[in-house]
Structure 1
Amino acid sequence: MHFNDLKLIIFDVDGTLLDSERIWKETLGIVGRTYHMPYLEEQLFARLVGVSGQEEERIYKEVLDPSIRDVFVSEWRQLANRTIDETVPVKVGSHDFFQWVKKQGLQLGVATSTHRQETEYRLKKANLWEPIDYVLCGNEIEHKKPHPEIYQKMLEHFHLEPDQALVIEDSSIGVEAAYRANIPVIHVADLIEPTTQDKERAWMTCKNLKEALVYLDTD
């Protein structure tokens, strides 16, 4: 597949540009152990990657005892967000990919389920904010991923057709959102291995951003 008409590359943030999913997983283990539930780091985290809103709350209700659920989730979120804000770990290849996008004369978009305040702060601290042409965040849409709304709105903003864009995503839910928006997607898997369905839906599956960039730069 060649992208002769490519005008826009859209990046997810958590797990794609920023190595924040790893911190969410590690801090889940820390809080889980304080509640004598060390198994949560593996069992719960995998189910929550890319999930937000009502589905996230449903999983919490299913897994966590109601007597500690709200406090547990609150402690975990506070620790994870504080750690991410302090360190803002950038994925290897993020800066190089951004530079390549602008060098090619392409538009650069960011579509994330995270709220704008956190997104803007972290991308600025990571020195990734300046090249971005448009950012759309979770508190600015009605339906979260895997609903295609966030990617449909990105296309509307740039006045483009789906085949004029390319999405870079790390999660199955993000891949599904791009797929449902009919936009080609490169799946750069983070902590969770891609499923057979992910591979079928994605135009390409890569181990990291550097691999994806090498392929695009020689395509």
Structure 2
Amino acid sequence: MKYKAVIFDMDGVLIDSEYFYLERTYRELVKRYPWIRIEELYPIVGMSGKTERILMHELARRPLDDLQFDEELEEIYQSGHIADFTEVLYPEVKEILRWLKEQGLQIALASSSPVHCISQMLDQCDIRDYFESVISGESLVMSKPDPEIYQITMNRLGRKPEECLIVEDSTYGIEAGVAAGAAVAARKDERFCFDQSKAAYHIADLKGIKQVLL
């Protein structure tokens, strides 16, 4: 095969979580900040926590040094946390992960989500053992669209960019993968008006990876 490793994003790629988070965050925010529109929250999809914090402060018209607002956000995020990730796992995930392993490909996960969310998802969905490398953007200096998270992952796998296929959905994630020098397969999602034009491949679901690889 042309590619020797497949690197997955998590939210919107392995799990259908993005609208779940977005809707619940909006529902709580608008109670306190009624001028915020849900469409204004769309850009946070695929953002790291650091960049998202800046945007949220701007939308709420609160200064960045307002720690009380940070506490409000944390309460909102905690109240909207996914309790059972098996309910949002895309149905084809285990099948495609198993197939990739059978083909001898390396598999990695590179997500902007917090470490505890990634860990909970992997354990609840019983897919941790498929991944040779797991990394959270929470621990990095730079966030997507910066390529750092993918560069580190490729180094861990011992692979060159041209040997890797990155599976993403968001504008920032796709830009990060392209900037890292790898080919990107974009999982189509028309709910958030993502710009997926820079992706080399476009797939309806993860089963499309088979066609890309073969």
TM-score by length of 1: 0.85
**Structure 1 residues 172 and 10: CA distance shift in structure 2, 3 A:** same
Q: Secondary structure at the match of 1:156?
A: helix
Give yes or no for the alignment of 1:194 onto 2:194: yes
Indicate the residue corresponding to 2:54 in structure 1. 58
Give yes or no for the alignment of 1:85 onto 2:83: yes
Cα distance in 2 for partners of 1:21, 1:53 equals 14
Cα distance in 2 for partners of 1:145, 1:87 equals 23
Amino acid of the structure 2 residue aligned with 1:37: P
Indicate the residue corresponding to 1:139 in structure 2. 138
Give yes or no for the alignment of 1:37 onto 2:34: yes
Indicate the residue corresponding to 2:100 in structure 1. 101
Indicate the residue corresponding to 2:73 in structure 1. 73
Q: Secondary structure at the match of 1:56?
A: helix
Shift of 1:33: 4.5
Indicate the residue corresponding to 1:27 in structure 2. 24
Indicate the residue corresponding to 1:15 in structure 2. 12
Cα distance in 2 for partners of 1:194, 1:61 equals 22
Shift of 1:72: 4.0
Shift of 1:5: 3.4
Shift of 1:60: 1.5
Cα deviations across residues 21-44 of structure 1 (Å, max 9, x unaligned)?
Answer: 12112212321353363853x223
Amino acid of the structure 1 residue aligned with 2:48: S
Shift of 1:134: 1.1
Paired-residue identity, %: 25
**Structure 1 residues 95 and 85: CA distance shift in structure 2, 3 A:** same
**Where does structure 1 differ by over 6 angstroms across 4 or more consecutive aligned residues?**
none
Cα distance in 2 for partners of 1:181, 1:141 equals 15
Indicate the residue corresponding to 2:45 in structure 1. 49
After TM superposition, the structure 1 stretch with the greater mean CA deviation from structure 2, 94-103 or 46-55, is 46-55
Q: Which runs of 5+ in 2 are unaligned?
A: none
Cα distance in 2 for partners of 1:93, 1:129 equals 16
Q: Secondary structure at the match of 1:18?
A: coil
Cα distance in 1 for partners of 2:33, 2:60 equals 12
**Structure 1 residues 12 and 45: CA distance shift in structure 2, 3 A:** same
Cα deviations across residues 173-214 of structure 1 (Å, max 9, x unaligned)?
Answer: 00000000010000113332332xx31x2111223223x235
User: How many pairs were matched up?
Assistant: 208
Shift of 1:216: 3.0
Q: Secondary structure at the match of 2:167?
A: strand
Shift of 1:87: 4.3
Q: Secondary structure at the match of 1:130?
A: helix
Q: Which runs of 5+ in 1 are unaligned?
A: none
Amino acid of the structure 1 residue aligned with 2:73: V
**Structure 1 residues 94 and 193: CA distance shift in structure 2, 3 A:** farther
